[in-house]
Amino acid sequence: MPPPPATGREQEVGPGQDNTLAKEAKKAAAHEPDPQHPDDAISEAKPSIGRELYALFRDMLRGRKGWPMLRLSVAILVVLIGNMFGQVRLNQWNGAFFDAVEKRATGAFFDQLLVFLVIVAVLLALVVAQTWLQERLKIRLRQRLTQVLLDLWLRPNHAYQLGFMGKSGSQPDQRMQEDCRLFSELSTELGVGMLQALLLLVSFIGVLWGLSSPVTFTIAGNAITIPGYMVWVAVGYAGIGSGLTWLVGRPLIRLNTERYAREADLRFALVRVNESAESVALYNGEPDERRSLDDFVEAVLKASRRLSGGLARLTWITSGYGWLAIVVPILAAAPDYFAGRLSFGEMMMVVGAFNQVQSALRYFVDNFPKIADWRSAVLRVATFRQAALDLDEVAAENRRIDIAPHPKGWLSFEGVSIALNDGSILIEDATAEIKPGERVLIMGESGAGKSTLFRAISGLWPWGSGKVRVPKPEEMMFLPQRPYLPLGTLRAAISYPTSPDTFDDSDVRAALERCGLGEFLDMLDRHERWDRTLSLGQQQRVAFARVILHKPCWVFMDEATSALDEDNQASMLALFENELKGASVLSIGHRPGLEEFHTRTLHIRKTSEGAILLTRPARAAKPKLGPKWIGRFRRKLRPSQVQEG
């Protein structure tokens, strides 16, 4: 996994910028492979389906969480065996009933109708039980598979780094929602259907063999006898249909995989435009976005058109096979019936058994489109799982920054170099040490790698070399420019990443009021999209309220006050003089006056070989805060605090 090309914070693609997603959609619509991604979604059909299925089910059945799936599977097997005996008994009733019809025996006719009602009642109960158990198994299977993928995806730093694993790690939303749904539903339906077909095949082959008289052919004066010829007719007929289905329908696997990939791209593009609707509107970029989305839609439609053509070609085989199946068993049994070796009831038993045998054998024919759909879902889920498993191993094969705890609980950089995927160095030989209680400002021009250095500290960006020694993870908190606000209540957003029940209500309210968000006190338990309801400045103040509650010893801020006015910025930074006094602060910022808050400044300066880290010594005999900062702090402190000062 080469290091990704991104430098600094990610940029939104807006009107007038290079829309790489649109280019990918055009390539997909033209059915052109992407040279930068040889593991394109279409090539995902290459891995062994058996090996991938084994790995997936091994993970799902591991531990006690797999027992409900096993219990449901055993219950379904018991119901299917009962259904098999019921079908055999129904076939026997079929012969007795039509014999009564042929003989015009009224009493036997009505007796057989009563027997039929009993058999149907039992079979109906079994079918209902099978349906209920099958639906429950789908739910359990989806639950367990989603849990497995979520565990892999949400390992520390994996969700971020999987985005750099190419197509195999892309679109996690579709892999864990749509593909998991398809996998669970189709695996259950196809698995239960295949098992049922196998049980019926075993039972009715014996019935058909017993009812079939041997056929003798004379070739070159030699008599050749074929016992149980009806069985061989059923096997031959199903074999021809299955072979033709495989030849005609094999491209459906690739076409389904391609369609899912294009659908995922379209959904991602739509969500992205929706999330950036305000920016698009401010640029008057709707026409440009419409052109880009048209490319995605065209890619989906092109993939769907290819798939529809393949399905239409396959329908010639499946439908023709189904229509011929009506008369083939009657034609095969007719010689024995007209010769008097079979009664009318026995002939109907032969036809029924033949239909059951060839129905079991033609399971592949009837379900090939569904099998192709299932196989695509299996491989997309499996490749995503494998990408998550391989992430650490693949990353270790490249240059990697050594991140480990500092023996004294400090923060230090020892010869750290941060690399890009083209081999260039973003930051070269960064060496510095930050002690507890220091407030350090990192400055530098845009693109010099300040945000990437922060990612390296957190472990998000492992590409490079050198050593980073960090404090204990539970003592650190990172404040990005745009804070993450989870779905749910405002209380949950302030308490994140811990549970909302972790903190007392009075503490949460005090933190909210301290950060100038008192107007939201009555909305703490309201469910909203708070990332849209609150302005960016208010979101940044929510992040500082979060800091007040968690009280970390080390706070890392990446432009965390960029959306605040000077007074609000002063109020938030005053936290480190009062509520969080003694906390260490490492921050990125460009706004004037920030140097007065920090006790030390590190400059990242670009050179031809890469950016270098320069240390500006702390100014001697200078108070921690200048007069104008003290004034701003005092204006924002509560009256009691001002009087005490």
**Segment 118-157, tens digit of pLDDT:** 998 999 999 899 999 999 999 999 999 999 888 888 888 7
Other CB atoms within 10 Å distance of the CB of residue 133: 22
Higher-pLDDT residue of 15, 213 = 213
Whether the predicted pLDDT of 435 surpasses 60: yes
403 contact partners, CB below 8 Å, separation of at least 6: 456, 457, 459, 462, 467, 468, 469, 470
Backbone phi, psi, residue 110, to 5°:
-70, -35
CA max distance for the chain: 123
Backbone phi, psi, residue 148, to 5°:
-65, -45
> Residue 436, preceding bond cis, omega within 30 degrees?
no
- Is 164 within 8 Å of 4 (Cβ atoms)? yes
User: What is the C-alpha separation between 87 and 81, in angstroms, rounded?
Assistant: 10
Instruction: Report pLDDT digits (tens) over 588-598.
Output: 877 766 777 88
User: What is the C-alpha separation between 493 and 381, in angstroms, rounded?
Assistant: 31
pLDDT at 265: 84
The answer to whether the predicted template modeling score (pTM) of the entire model surpasses 0.75 is: no
Q: At what angle do helices 627-636 and 566-573 cross, to 10 degrees?
A: 90
The first and second tokens of residue 353, run together, are: 């058994």
Instruction: Report pLDDT digits (tens) over 339-397.
Output: 777 777 777 777 777 777 777 777 776 787 788 888 888 888 888 888 888 877 766 66
- Is 119 within 8 Å of 93 (Cβ atoms)? yes
Q: Is 423 exposed, middle or buried (0-12, 13-18, 19+ CB in 10 A)?
A: exposed
Whether the predicted pLDDT of 510 surpasses 90: yes
* End-to-end Cα, the chain, rounded Å: 55
Higher-pLDDT residue of 419, 24 = 419
- Is 34 within 8 Å of 27 (Cβ atoms)? yes
- Is 595 within 8 Å of 441 (Cβ atoms)? yes
User: What is the C-alpha separation between 150 and 218, in angstroms, rounded?
Assistant: 67
| H helix intervals, 166-285 | 172-174, 180-211, 229-249, 251-275, 277-282
Enclosing H/E stretch for 609: none
459 SS3 class: coil
Whether the predicted pLDDT of 225 surpasses 80: no
Backbone phi, psi, residue 558, to 5°:
-110, 95
Q: Is 592 exposed, middle or buried (0-12, 13-18, 19+ CB in 10 A)?
A: exposed
What single letter denotes the amino acid at residue 345?
A: G
What single letter denotes the amino acid at residue 487?
A: L
Cα 412 to its chain centre, rounded Å, is: 37
